[in-house]
Each structure stands twice: as C-alpha cells, then as structure tokens.
Structure 1
Amino acid sequence: MMQPRIDHTKVNPEAMQTMLKLEGFISRSGLDRTLYELIKIRASQMNGCAFCLDMHTRELRAMGESEQRVHLITVWREVPFFTEKERVVLELTEALVRIGDAGVPQELYERVRRHVDEAEFVTVIMAVNAINGWNRLAIATGMVPEARVTV
C-alpha cells in the first residue's frame, strides 16, 4: 500500500505553481469540462494513480455525470454510452499515455480531427500531458485518496 512520502506542495511550491499554470491554460481553452474529466480518468486508470482516479471520478459525479458512464470509462469501446468525439479523444488519450508503443497513428489523428480543430487537438494533447504529470507526481510522492466513510 502506498504511504505518503513527501508533501510536494511544501517542498517545491514552484513546481506546484507550474502545474497549476498548465491547468489554468486548459481551463481557459474552452475544452469541455466533461471531456477533460474523461481524459483525466482514463489516463489515471492506465497510469494506476489511485489519488487522481478518486479525485476525478468524484469531480465527474459532482458535475452530474451518471454512475454508469463513470464506471464504464475503462471499457468505453464496449459500450454505447460515449459520443463519437469522446470516443476518439479517449482513444487519443490512450495513444498518448502509451506514446512509446505506436505513437499517434495517422488514421487516429484524422479521426480525431473530424471532431476537433487544430487548436483543440493541441489542447487535448496538453490535457493528457497535464494528467500524466499529475499522475507521476502523485504516485512518486505517495499521495493516497482520503478515506471516506459512507453509510
């Protein structure tokens, strides 16, 4: 079980501010909030980041997302509950998380571009970069979700 190692916000606040600037850019970009949370959740699932997965599934639920969609993000290919745009962005997210396996194939790029313009394409890449950074920061520093008691 992961144990907290260090509080990165205290030992290196400038690093935290840098990450928050990237988040600010994405927030101001116009990227759909639900789409961004889907990106965060799928990347966090793939990267094995319990802290981020807990945070972003709670955030998506708070935004009014259905439990069904939240639970089925990991198997988005197998269910009809995601839009075409969400599906291609989730596929791009997976390709970017595993960039060393096959890069981003031209065919995937073309399918994504049917749903996003060039600027949004770059923003999606930056969104994946951001959550990959947060995942690595959380895992390496031993961040764990808060225990929540439910009745």
Structure 2
Amino acid sequence: MDYQEIAKESVGYLYKAHRSIRTTGLEVQLIALAELRTSQLNGCAYCCAYHANELREMGLAVALIDQLPGWRLATGFDLRQQLVLEWTEVVTTRPADFKSYYPLLLEHFTEKELAELTTSISLMNALNRLRMTLGNH
C-alpha cells in the first residue's frame, strides 16, 4: 500500500516533524543513532538500512554501526552516545522505572535536547510501524 500517497497530508506532517527535529541543535548524528537503534528494536529492515547508510555518510565509524546491536558490550561509544542508546531502548520499550533515567540524562543533556531526542525516538517508532504494517514489502 502506498500509505505515503494515500495519507499524504498526515504522513507529510510526520516527515516534516522528522526534518524539524534535525534543526534543533541536538547533534544530528545522535538523532540518527537513536533512529537506527529504534528501527533495530522494531525490526524495520528498510529503516535500518536507511539510517545505517546515513550514519556512514555522517562519518560514524562502520565498526560502531556494526556493533550497535551489542552496544552495551562495545567500547567505542562515547558517554552521550551510550545515553542516547539507553534512552532509545527505554522510550521504545517503556519499562516501569523509566523516570529513574532522568537525573543521569539531565546531567549530560539539556531539557530541550532530551525533549527533542524523546520526540525523535517516539516519531521513529511511529514511522517504523507505518512502514512495517502498510509499506510495500
């Protein structure tokens, strides 16, 4: 189904929000990292390929992209990247203790950055689900 054409206006707003988040001041590479991890968690093959390629083009080391599924055991991710990956998993799976992550996150991100990051992850979850349920496979 060509959901992007069928629901052109509604889906267009989602993509407009996606583009807008990338102009907020939060490092675009961190946003793309969160988008790739979200897509991995959701199993969206199209989005995984798209965001992995995007990160390569942004200069993220291929070794890090390859290690992303096992990021907790990898040594190459810096602290902000690790926090983004952790928060991505929290937002996507929403464990009961999700608020316990706020203090550490707010030591390393402003409230605006955290809000934008959370919006990006939430939006990617929605876009993954649209692609996986209605997209052409």
* TM-score bucket (shorter structure): over 0.9
1:29 to 24, 44, 47: 24
Could you tell me which runs of 5 or more consecutive residues in structure 1 were left unpaired when the two chains were aligned: 1-5, 145-151
Cα distance, 1:25 vs structure 2: 2.3
The percent of aligned pairs where both chains have the same amino acid is: 29
Counterpart for residue 89 of structure 2? 94
Q: Aligned equivalents of 1:87 and 1:56: distance in 2?
A: 17
Indicate the structure (1 or 2) with the bigger Cα radius of gyration.
1
1:76 aligned residue: 71
Partner of 1:129: 122
**1:7-86 mapped onto 2 (5 Å cutoff):** 7-86=2-81
Answer whether contact 2:22 2:31 (CA < 8 A) is retained: no
Q: CA separation of 1:19/1:103 partners in 2, compared to 1, >3 Å: closer, same or farther? A: farther
Query: Aligned equivalents of 1:64 and 1:89: distance in 2?
Result: 18
Match status 1:113 vs 2:106: yes
Matches of 2:97 and 2:34 in 1, distance apart?
17
- Matches of 2:58 and 2:80, distance apart in 1: 19
Structure 1 pair 103–131 and aligned structure 2 pair: CA distance change class (3 A): farther
2:131 — aligned with what? 138
Between the aligned partners of 1:134 and 1:102, the Cα distance in structure 2 is 24
- TM-score, length basis structure 2: 0.94
Counterpart CA distance in 2 for 1:18 and 1:140 is 19
Q: Classify the secondary structure of the residue corresponding to 2:108.
A: coil
TM-score, normalising length from structure 1? 0.85
Write the letter of the residue equivalent to 1:44.
S
Find the aligned partners of 2:76 and 2:102 in 1 and give their Cα distance.
Answer: 22
What is the aligned residue count? Answer: 137
